[in-house]
Structures are given as C-alpha cells and as structure tokens.
Amino acid sequence: MDSQTFEDCLAHADLMLDLYGRQNYWLGYRRGLRRAFYGDAFCTEEEHQLWLSLVDRPQWEVAERGRGYHDGLRVTGVEDQQKRSDNGDSKPLRIVLERSNSCRD
C-alpha cells in the first residue's frame, strides 16, 4: 500500500464514521491501518497482540474495536496469526472508496 492509498483509507474511515457512526469500530480500523502501514514502528508486538485479542472480549464496545483493528489490517494485506472471531453482534460495513479499491472490506 502506498502512502496515498493509506491516507485515502484513513479519510474514508473518517467519512464512514461521520455517516454511519460505529465509533469503536472505526477507531480500531484506523489503528489497524496504521499498524499495517508503519509496522513495528507504530506499536509494540505486545500492543498488537492485545488489539488482536479484543474481538474475544465480552464487552461489545471493546470487541467492536477489535473487529475494526482486524479489518484495518486486512485492507493492507497484513495477515494476523489469530483467526478473527465474529459473534454476530455486529458485522463490518462494506467499505467503498471511489479513489481506491484497496480500502474495500
């Protein structure tokens, strides 16, 4: 992912938040994008593992951040080692970005 596509995806997340809400999801999504783009320079491996584990938390808001984080990682092609669990409480929105198809879920 080049820097323009990265910036486009961040801007798209802001737009989706404004249009549809789901603050916890989009905060996690943005963080996942930054981790994927910057790698280890963005956060430690320990922090990364913590964010990966959020999807399994019983609190809906926390799990929603984890789902967003996983989706942000997937946009850039980064594969995480944990299988994403989705308990059906919330499904990720289909992401559409006119300038770049890279931000699609």
Mean pLDDT in residue range 84-105? 39
Mean pLDDT in residue range 57-65? 95
Q: Which domain holds residue 16?
A: 3-103
93/5 Cα distance (integer angstroms): 19
Q: What is the dihedral of CA 4, 66, 79, 2, to 10 degrees?
A: 0
* Percentage of the chain exceeding pLDDT 90: 53
61/63 Cα distance (integer angstroms): 6
**Domains: count for the chain:** 1
Q: pLDDT value at position 57?
A: 95
Residue 89: which residues within 8 A CB-CB, separation 6 or more?
60, 63, 64
82 against 58, higher pLDDT: 58
85/93 Cα distance (integer angstroms): 16
pTM equals 0.71
Question: Which residues of 3-105 form beta strands (DSSP E)?
Answer: none
* pLDDT over 50 at 96, yes or no: no
Tokens standing for 74?
């997937």
